[in-house]
Amino acid sequence: MAERGSWTPGVRPDADRGAVVLVGGSQELHDETARVCAAAGVPLTTTDTVRLALERQPTVLLVTPGSAHERVPAGTSVILIGAAGEEDFVWAAAARHHAGRVAILPQGAGWLAEYLGRLQDPAGPGSIVGVLGSAGGAGASILSCWLADCAGAGGVSTVLIDGDPSGGGLDLAFGGERTPGVRWADLSEVRGSLNPAQLASALPSAGHFSFLSHGSMHPEPARPSAPTSPPSSTVAVIDAARQVFPLAFIDLGSVDRDALLGFCDRVVLVVPARLRAVSAAIAAQARLGPLPVHPVVSGPLSPGFDPYSIADLLDIGHALPLLPRIRGVGAAEASGRVLEIGRRRRLRAACRTILHAISENGAFRDD
């Protein structure tokens, strides 16, 4: 019997650059994936190693479990892909990769085709910005609230996503805990894809932005400290948010930060102006790899540290934005008034500086 030929289209390196690359896998899996990509209207390239795949600068990297021992740089869009019957194997590989998306074929062909098809949208998906502190108490959660409010006030439709299920509910910081609308717990049973417009209409809002909080009234069980992949509901929700909001901020918190980093296009790294926090920021830069990082210095300034000296230590060629020390921030957070504090002139100016830095076109309007 003649050997069945591959359905996978031939590889044209120049044309396929920037599209979808599949690493490893059986011939059957190659064929299933090629059918999905054809339905989505995106070109598919296959390689044997992650290293060769990365050389093609893929928009999406499809990795099979057998290839998952190879390291993928942080910030790379990765989907673990496998065949029916090997779900456990695929999810275990996804956890090692800190990858939040998994597709089992042929069952997941519809979702994967829809996801890849969005790459053809000329308007492009929205930008997702993670906000992370280099050390505990850096103020990343509060800054994420201020940035979302400032961006929304400047005319950008923005959503703030609570990324810490053990944080007690980010909405408490701005008094939004009683605002009607869905919380993470309400979306825990979502499977497959989620209608972006329906998500946007169901989310509560505060100030000038929409938000999705874990909610103080919906505590989640503690999770292991080891990095894990987010559940499929998280993948569906964040993918939908990206489609409907031009800008999303994720307060990365301290529990799921490694998994949720996979959704981020860039990271705002809050660096307190003290020795250990700056040292931790240097280590964080190395861990984040090619993911664009935008450090922000938070006051008060310790002796010997300022936005210029910290920029030198982080090997950045310009002075960093400075969040000045403002009295009463702790009390404002305790009473749900952080947005009120964040609208003070000095803080608003600092937030605008950060927003211009993370914007691809720098087009943020003033209030």
User: Would the pTM count as exceeding 0.75?
Assistant: no
Amino acid identity of residue 32, one-letter, is E
- Using alpha carbons, select from 120, 122, 86, 80 the residue that is nearest to residue 99: 80
Instruction: Return the pLDDT at 226.
Output: 39
Instruction: Return the pLDDT at 257.
Output: 55
Instruction: Return the pLDDT at 91.
Output: 79
CA separation for the pair 61, 38 (Å, rounded): 16
Burial of 1 from C-beta contacts in 10 A (0-12 / 13-18 / 19+): exposed
Across the 367 residues of the chain, what is the mean pLDDT of every consecutive 10-residue run? Answer: 35 48 88 87 87 84 76 72 83 71 83 74 74 89 96 94 88 93 89 82 95 70 46 82 93 64 87 92 81 89 90 89 86 90 92 88 47
Instruction: Return the pLDDT at 74.
Output: 61
What does residue 153 show for φ and ψ, rounded to 5 degrees?
A: -65, -25
189-213 as b/e: b if 16+ CB within 10 A: ebeeebebeebbebbbbbbbbbbbb
Three-state DSSP state, 125: coil
Determine the straight-line distance between the first and last CA of the chain, rounded to whole angstroms: 72
Structural domains of the chain ordered from first start: 15-120 (3.40.50.2300), 127-358 (3.40.50.300)
